[in-house]
Structures are given as C-alpha cells and as structure tokens.
Structure 1
Amino acid sequence: MATSAPTVTGLVDLLDRQVRARPHAPALLVGDERVPLSYGEVDALAERAAERCVAAGLRAGDVLGLVAGNSVEFVGVLLGAARAGVVVAPLDPALSDVELRARVKASGARAVFSGDGFVEAEGGGRRGDALVLFTAGATGRARTVSLTHANVAAAVHNVCATYALGPEDATVAVMPFFHGHGLFASLLSTLASGGRVLLPAGGRFSAGTFWADLRAAGASWFTAVPTIHEELLERSADADMPVPPPLRFVRSCGAPLNAATQRALERMFGAPLLSAYGMTEAAHQIASEPLPQDGPLKHGTVGRATGVRLRVVGRDGRECAAGVRGEVWVAGPTVAGEGWLRTGDLGSLDEDGYLSLAGRIESLIVRRGLSISPEYVEDVLAGCPAVAEAAVFAVGGERIGAAVVAVRGEECGEPSEILRYCRERLAAVAVPDRVVFVPALPRTAQGGLDRLAVRERYG
C-alpha cells in the first residue's frame, strides 16, 4: 500500500513518474476485450495528441473543447493537450447540439475535438489554466470553473493521500470524465499513483457489466454517486448476480447517501463505504471519511477536510461553534481563485472536525418562519418501505410537495398513506402538503438529483 502521495505539478507531468519507473505496467484496460494499455503506450498516445493539437493550429493558452466518453481518446487528448500548453474543456457527449454549442461558447474554446477530429470554434485563450469545467447544475444553470495545473496537482495529491492509492490499486471508471468526480477521483489520481483504470465498453458505466468489469480490473475500490450505488444494491437481489470481488473500500460522493443504504452496501461489498464531499470549484474533493486505520467512520457525515481548510459561518459572518449549522466555507490549494469559497451548502462541524451537510441553502424551504431542509424530509421519506426515492420541493411559497418513486414491484397506495408515515416521524411544519407519484426523478448528467428540474416540473 502506498505510504505517500505522488508529487506532480499538473496534467503535464502526471504520467512521468510511472513512465520512468514502470513503463510496461498496465495503466488502462479498454473496451469489450479489456485490452491493457501500458503507461508507456498511454504516454505515446499523449505525445501524438500534443502533435495533433499543434498541427491543428492550437497555441499555448487556447481552449480545446473535448467531447468524448470515458475512452482512450479522452485520456490521450487531455494529457496531450496539456503538453502543448492547451487548456482543456471536457464536455458531455450526450448534450444536444444546442447545449453543446452554448457550452463551447461559454468555455471560450478555439477548437473542439470529438471522434471526428478537430473542428474550429470561436474563442479566446485562458493562459495559466489547465481545465475549464462545468458545474453539475443541480440547483441552477451550469457555470464554468477555471482550474490551474496547481489546483489539479493539489487535488490529485489529496485524493491519493486520503485513500492511500498506489500501484497495486485498480478501479472501474464509473463516473464520467467530463466532470470532476470521475476526472479527479477515478482517472487522474489512479494514473498519478500508478494504478490501473478500466474504461467500460462504450465509454460509459453499465450496471449490466459492472461486476465483470470489477473482476477484470482486479479492482480494489471504486467511486460513484448514490443513485448508482442504489442501482447496484437493487441488482444484487437478483438470484444469478455474482458475488462481488473483495475491495479495500467503496467511495460515495455527489449527494447524501441514505444510512440504511450505506450499511447494506458495506455488507454486500464486505468493505467500508466512505462518504466524501466535493465541488467543481474546489477541484472535486473537499472532505472524506477516512480509511478505518486513519480514523473512525461516522456515517451520516462526509468526514474530515482533505488538504483544505473548512469553516462553518453563520449569518452574522462569525464562525459557528461545533454542532451549530451555518454555511460551509473552504480554502486551500485546490480552490479556484483565492481566499475562501462560500459553497452555498449548509452544514456543521463536530468536535473532531467531521462535517455533516444539511443541503443547499438556496433549496431550504421557509415555512412559518422556520427553515426546512428538503434533504432531511427526503431521508425520512426514503425510510418508507415502499419508497425507492423522493424529492421534496416548495410549492407556491410555503407549501411543501414531494415527488415519490415507488420501489419496484411495490404498491405505495394512496398519498394519504405516505403523509401518515411522515406525520409519525416529522414535526408538523415539515410534513409535505401533497405527494405525487412519478416513474423517475430528473437527474443531472453526473447522476445527482436535478432540483431545478424538480421545481420546474412539480413546483
């Protein structure tokens, strides 16, 4: 097991240590056949991509839009563009043409790379940056975030140090690389620490092949959002589902994970499930539950700060005492820009520095002068045996609504039954006024609950 995190300065030298010491070690496993590509081969792909960037007329500081799934092309162009001094803006290949053009424009891209090669675009340069990423847009429209190579280096170091990643580790690329979760936690940290990443066939996660992918990779860990964890847990009930391979740990990030789900996942995988907290503006990871040997697990929290400074600040601008809720602020080498980043998340720190989150401040529902966290009400609703998941939202001011998805094969009955369940477990002020049954909840491209879409559809 690794005892120290790798030292890199950014995307440019991410592979250098491994290429020098272990050029023939597998870095990627690719496609249906899980073909291994060594660190030396990935390095050669990056060199060719750098040459192609220069041949396409891109100069240092220009922005390149990168439209690709979790593929060899993505990895090669990402690292190769960095070597040419080009800033990369990863873009979701599932976006519509209109959305894609809007994001290309917002990123300032001078060219776009897709499976068809390079296409010119209109844009300027962002000298000094490494990446232009888009926020998930869970509660509003996606925004651009510029990250430097120093931000990238610090983010990779923090993930590797938190989970003691090393050459013996391997993972499956579950989360998309166009967002910080998949990019930093799965891809860049694994390559920097000398491990191997399996890129699923088709360039995206498939629950149907996931167990075979885990075994083919010899995976020691993986990271995903709660919706994917819940899908895996649901599939595990099938009689012909294979026993999962032994893992060192499992990581969850991107949204709150129900405590009962967390315990069930730990039983299924026979490994600790570590909850983490991240934001695009902080190059993904901000906090995480530690490995068992490094500290106690406190389910219901997202752990301790990882390489950054955390504080919780009240409305009066003063730092809150332990256990008191306020806005979460973060500062450190992973944060875009300087000074303290006001996350917009509501949370509290305990005496040991473990962070508990209580939802987005902008999502709070104010009713009878009290602030009600939708996430808290959703957690209670999720405890109802027939409820798979729920989304809580404001209706016309101070009224509360809940969109509910039934457990497969279960009957939820009437809305009155759900409301009765809530009245037995919630303060009267937090009980929803109405319940609507829906086949599925809207999701962001990263798998998180799209609260903006929930409000627009049901609010």
Structure 2
Amino acid sequence: MAVPAAASVRDPGRYRPPALTGLTDLLDRPARARPQAPALITGADRARVSYRALDELADAVAARLTAAGLRPGDAVGLVSANTVEFVAALLGAARAGLVVAPVDPALPEPRMTAGLEALGVRAVLLGPTAGGTPPAAVGPGVPAWTLRVDLSPAGTATASLGTGAGAPADAGGAAGELTAQDALVLFTAGTTDRAKMVPLTHGAVAASVRGVCAVYELGPDDATVAAMPFFHGHGLFAALLSTLASGGCVLLPARGRFSAHTFWDDMRAAGATWFTAVPTIHEILLDRAATDLTDLAGPPVPALRFLRSSSAPLNTATQRALERTLGAPLLSAYGMTESAHQATSEPLPQHGPLKHGSVGRPAGVELRVLDPDGKPCPPGGEGEVWVHGPTVARGYLGNPGETAYGFVDGWFRTGDLGALDEDGHLFLTGRLKNVIIRGGEKVSPEHIEDVLAGCPGVAEAAVFAVPDATYGQRVGAAVVLSPAEGPGSEAPGAEEVRRYCRGRLAPFEVPDRIRIVTSLPHTAKGGLDRAAVDLQYAQDPVWPGLT
C-alpha cells in the first residue's frame, strides 16, 4: 500500500509554509519582515539576538571563511553545542557556498577524526561545548578554527574566527562526490567511525523545513526551546531551521544543551508554544512534572499548542499522561537522516484524528509498505517502509554498496517494519535487523518493549536476542525499575515482570531471560543504543533469575 504526498497536504489557502530554496536564504523573509524580532534567546543571561543581527552575523562569518581560503563546494566540519556560534557557523558557511558536516562535540578523538577524515573536510569550525571544555582533537593536517560570537547589551553581535591553526587542508576523502547543490553532510546515528555519511541538498533542506512548518503551522508567534542537539536532524530541522524560517524564536539553553532543571523556566522565558524531544526527555519531564510545574516562581508556563516526539518509539501511556499533564496534544513524528528528518507526523487536532500508537501520515513524501517479495502490503499488513520524495538523499558518500542496497529508483529502504491503516496512518512495528528468530517464530523486540513499559514498576526496557543451541535465539530483556512511590511500595522482580508478560504476549514472545539493571545505554539522539545493549547483556553468560 502506498500513500502519496498529496494525502498529507491541507487546504493551502489556510496556511502557507515559508518560501525558501535552502540554507542560504533561510533568514531572508523574517529578516525583511521582522528585523527587530528575536530569532534566538541564548546563554545563561538569555541574551536576545534579532533577525537583523543574526542575518548580519551570518554574512560576517561567510566573509571570514572566504578570506581564510575556503571556496564554494568545500566541506567543513562543525563541532559545537547548541549555541549562537553553531547557528552563525552553519548559516555563514552556507552563504559562503560551503557544505557543512555537524559532529557531536562529545565524541572521542578517534571517532571524530575518522568521520571528518572519511569526508575530507578542509577545516573544522569549533564553537563552545556543553561542558565548557574544548572538543576532542580532530586529527593532524586539518585546521581547527575557533568561532566566537560576542553579544552587546544593545543587541549587536560580532564574530571572530581564529584561523591561526593553519590554512585549509587539501580536499580528500568522499568530498569529491559532493555537488554544487549540497548543503549538509549528516552522519547517521551511532558512532561516527561506523556511521554512514548522508549528503543533503539545499532543495532537500528547503523541502524538509517547509514540511515541518506546514504540518504544525509554525509562524512568527511561535517559540520553542532547543531540547535536541543540532548535530542530528531532529534538533536541526524540526527545532532550529523550521522555527527560524517561519520567523519564530528559539531559546538556546545555558551551556547549549537540555537541562531538566531549567527546562520549564526556559519555556516560560521564551514564551514557548511547543517543543520537540525524544521519548527519553518526555519521560524525564513527566517524572518531574508534579514538582517542576508547581515550584516555578512567577507567571505560569505558557499555554502550549502542541508537543512533538520523534527519533524513537513513544510509549502510549507516556503520551496520554503528558497530554493530561500539560493540556496539549502530543504529536508523534517519524523520520530518518536519509529523508532530512521528518517523513510522517500526526496532524494538529483540527486537521485530523490522533491515533495513539501511530506516527501519523506522510508529510511531503510518499510512503509504501512492501512485503519480502517487494509487493505492496494491504491495509494492516506488515512490511518494510519505503520513502520517496524531495527530502530523500541520493545515497551515501563513499559507500556504493550500502547506496545500491538502500536507495532504489529514488526510494529509500528504511529498514523499519510497519503497517499502513485504511486512512494512511503509519504504525511502526520494529526494525528488520532487530527481529529475533526463536525456534522459527519471528519476535519484534519493540513490541515486547512496549508491553514491558506498561508493567507497573518498570521505567524502561531493552529486548534483544540471546544465542541458544536449541532455539537458535531466545528472548532476553534488561529492565530498569521505577523508583518506589511510597511506603510499602515494592519493586517487581524478574518473575513478576515475566508473569505480567504472559498475560499479554504470545508464549514465544515472553522473555526467557530477564535482568534487572540500573540504567540502559542511549545514543546521542536519546534512542536506545541496541549495539551497546547487545554488548553488555546479550553476550553475558551470567544471568540471574533465569527460567
């Protein structure tokens, strides 16, 4: 079953997304129409940066990069927390015609160096890190230039670029595959030395931004707090670029990263109307809501139009609890680096029904769900999700084998399993590569994790395959328990958790092995790090409380 892009387009007379061609003209409309309006609120003192100041800052950075010897088409790395320096470097580099590759500042040197060398960047732009310490070294031969932005009380902004570390390096690596249309190279989730490099054109950036703005009808009256890092598509496209293109305001938290301690105060300071985050952050905010929302001094938190969740599956119980607590709909979205982030989303309530458990309908792309023989699945039938549209990348840099497998006739094979209902809403059921084969039966770890998350006393769970001589694989689970909620409260043990599962899962799906753990590893985006889970638990021969 395929769902066309037209299925997600609302009446164009009611809302028009911003007109832009890419990163270079992202600020053009708001800088002309509302030059004094705040584009950013940044730092511990919450300094305001107007659209005019940000526009001039981007021009200044572009001039400095050109003067340093960089030329259109060159690739540069960008290593920074969510600060004004990141925004200025990104937009300034784009205006200089450069292709920008944002990188996680927390990566250790070998991983950071491997990714940047594989791409072949000519320089690395450094901004502040969340911890206030310099980022890891980026390897010999590639100059690292520190960008600093100074903000005056009058609202002016000046940029300085420390190019004393050397002239641009010779181009190499996969940079030779870049085109004049490319704007970004994003690394897929995971460790950068193993991550794939995804080139995204200015056209893909523009299509992604317009799609996000259209679904949520973002405009000049909207504001948000940047809870997600900008070196991944979620924070970059949904929070930063879409807000700036629509003329809204983004608050960049102190130290350039999410803090549960200051989040609601930041939301109030920004006059925020929405925010987007991964389920891990939503869980944290929900756990702290009773205290945080009552302890705020001063005016209450502003009314929210909606909340947004993406990058990992959101537990339905958490979604409903947050909606009750904050009095706003929580809209689930689905996307990937290869589609410039958003591919589907639940609509605003006034534009269609919300189906809990769904990630919504296509947003500017086409979807199809295919069975193992490549045939479209009927409504409700499970298969692999394929995506096609203007946001989809052309392939991976320096990886022809993965490109040939993952990109077919303009369609991207996501590797995700899902089903489309009669209304075109997508329900994700797992990952092809995560499926556990237990005695010939196919088991979805994600489905079992969702059931485990509903068990009283369970905060989080990871399900994985355990090698077994008899069944080939058995089902293992690592479970994090919630804090006790009062006198007499008793956390469940492995057998209690298993008993809960028996009433809700098929016999072959019930975890054979359960371990109670204190925490689970997560990726930089906040999703479950399945590779680390497998390394820590699936291969561990010692399992307490086994059946």
Q: TM-score, normalised by structure 2?
A: 0.82
- Give 2:363's aligned residue: 306
Alignment of 1:39-438 (within 5 A): 39-115=51-127, 116=146, 117-118=162-163, 120-121=168-169, 123-124=171-172, 125=175, 126-128=178-180, 129-137=182-190, 141-238=194-291, 240-242=294-296, 244-337=301-394, 339-396=410-467, 397-409=472-484, 411-438=490-517
In the TM superposition, residue 122 of structure 1 has moved relative to its aligned partner by: 5.2
Cα distance between partner residues in 1 of 2:171 and 2:65: 16
In the TM superposition, residue 348 of structure 1 has moved relative to its aligned partner by: 0.4
CA contact (8 A) 1:308 1:331 kept: yes
CA contact (8 A) 2:436 2:473 kept: yes
Superposed CA offset, 1:374-432 (max 9, x none): 01101111111111000000001411110111102364343122111111221110011
In the TM superposition, residue 2 of structure 1 has moved relative to its aligned partner by: 7.7
Cα distance between partner residues in 2 of 1:430 and 1:254: 25
Cα distance between partner residues in 1 of 2:304 and 2:348: 12
1:4 alignment partner AA: R
Superposed CA offset, 1:340-388 (max 9, x none): 1000000000111000000111001111222111011011111111110
Alpha-carbon distance change, 2 to 131 in structure 1, aligned in 2, over 3 angstroms: farther
Unaligned runs of 5+ in 1: none
In the TM superposition, residue 336 of structure 1 has moved relative to its aligned partner by: 0.3
Superposed CA offset, 1:256-290 (max 9, x none): 11111000000111000000001000000000000
CA contact (8 A) 1:137 1:143 kept: no
Superposed CA offset, 1:3-41 (max 9, x none): 210010000000011111111111000111211110000
In the TM superposition, residue 141 of structure 1 has moved relative to its aligned partner by: 3.8
Alpha-carbon distance change, 424 to 170 in structure 1, aligned in 2, over 3 angstroms: same
CA contact (8 A) 1:2 1:164 kept: no
CA contact (8 A) 1:252 1:274 kept: yes
Cα distance between partner residues in 2 of 1:92 and 1:57: 25
1:349 alignment partner AA: L
1:309 alignment partner AA: E
Superposed CA offset, 1:53-76 (max 9, x none): 112211111101000010101101
In the TM superposition, residue 142 of structure 1 has moved relative to its aligned partner by: 2.1
Aligned length: 459
State the SS of the aligned residue for 2:97.
coil
2:535 alignment partner AA: E
Cα distance between partner residues in 2 of 1:105 and 1:123: 10
State the SS of the aligned residue for 2:290.
coil
In the TM superposition, residue 244 of structure 1 has moved relative to its aligned partner by: 3.8
- Give 2:157's aligned residue: none
- Give 2:33's aligned residue: 21
Unaligned runs of 5+ in 2: 1-12, 128-145, 147-161, 395-408, 539-547
- Give 2:530's aligned residue: 451
Cα distance between partner residues in 2 of 1:413 and 1:299: 27
2:104 alignment partner AA: D
2:261 alignment partner AA: G
In the TM superposition, residue 437 of structure 1 has moved relative to its aligned partner by: 1.4
Cα distance between partner residues in 2 of 1:159 and 1:413: 41
2:450 alignment partner AA: D
Q: Which of the pair has more CA radius of gyration?
A: 2
Deviates more, 1:334-343 or 1:116-125: 116-125
Deviates more, 1:399-408 or 1:233-242: 233-242
CA contact (8 A) 1:169 1:196 kept: yes
In the TM superposition, residue 121 of structure 1 has moved relative to its aligned partner by: 4.7
In the TM superposition, residue 137 of structure 1 has moved relative to its aligned partner by: 2.6
- What is the root-mean-square deviation of aligned Cα atoms in Å? 1.7
- Give 1:30's aligned residue: 42
Alpha-carbon distance change, 122 to 440 in structure 1, aligned in 2, over 3 angstroms: farther
2:434 alignment partner AA: S
Deviates more, 1:399-408 or 1:107-116: 107-116
CA contact (8 A) 2:460 2:480 kept: yes
State the SS of the aligned residue for 2:384.
strand
- Give 2:155's aligned residue: none
In the TM superposition, residue 237 of structure 1 has moved relative to its aligned partner by: 2.9
Cα distance between partner residues in 2 of 1:27 and 1:417: 51
Cα distance between partner residues in 2 of 1:170 and 1:413: 42
In the TM superposition, residue 177 of structure 1 has moved relative to its aligned partner by: 0.3
Cα distance between partner residues in 2 of 1:394 and 1:327: 21
Deviates more, 1:174-183 or 1:101-110: 101-110
2:445 alignment partner AA: P
Cα distance between partner residues in 2 of 1:278 and 1:72: 26
CA contact (8 A) 2:484 2:491 kept: no
Superposed CA offset, 1:216-258 (max 9, x none): 0000000000000000000113275446431000000011111
2:291 alignment partner AA: D
State the SS of the aligned residue for 2:463.
strand
